[in-house]
Amino acid sequence: MSAVADVIRTRNDEASGALIGYLPVGFPSLDASVDAAVALVENGVDIVELGLPYSDPVMDGLTIQRATQTALRNGFRLRHGFEAVERIRARVDAPLLVMTYWNPVVQYGVERFATDLQNAGGAGLITPDLIPDEAADWMAASEGHDLDRVFLAAPSSSDARMKQAVDSSRGFVYAVSTMGITGARDDVDKAARSVVSRLRDAGSTSACVGLGISTAEQVADVLSYADGAIVGSRLVAALEQGGVAEVAAVAAELSAGTRR
């Protein structure tokens, strides 16, 4: 069974839905990124998404790009991602999903990556630039190591692609709310409702919306039609501006949006 799916299901029974928080590993340091992820869980975040810094982050907005580039300059290596997962899991019990572009996984070795992620206590991967058609190796490795795989669906996705994302994902489907890159916006794109509706028509029982969510009000709005709300840039900016204490405060603020 998927721990991620279980948490999302439980939070939809207990509250209005699940809150998923993103932070990059290694920013502003490895130790601080571990402390910040723990602070998310201790302040109402249900599932943590840990980003692996990458030199060509085509989907990330400026806030996340700055953070990941800082981590790379400070010496981030892929092994630090597994170390962070293990250290966070030793302190909190929330599921940890790793968000990574596909090239680092290929370079590391798909089977080796899956083995090390499972051994560290990770729940699975969010792969923004990997489509199910090209994911045979990851599908096999994730099945063999009991790991979730989260594929993306966007406003531009065809009905066939929506169905494919639903059938191939385990944990949830990541509903991209806009056609742009990540970053907080005043209004979450109304297209998100359409994406989630189309995913429901394709058979999804767990769809979470990301990109553009930055306030408790937006979390509440998203959870009125989706199973989870994913917040990234707002949390990264808080860590950049005020450290772990500010991340904790923002997480607590955002978690208010999950209350019925």
What are the catalytic residues? 49, 60
| Tokens coding 57 | 């982050």
Q: Which residues contact 35 (CB under 8 A, 6 or more apart)?
A: 244
Cα 52 from Cα 50, distance rounded (Å): 7
109 alpha-carbon distance from chain centroid: 22
The burial of 126, by beta-carbon neighbours within 10 Å (0-12 exposed, 13-18 middle, 19 or more buried), is given as buried
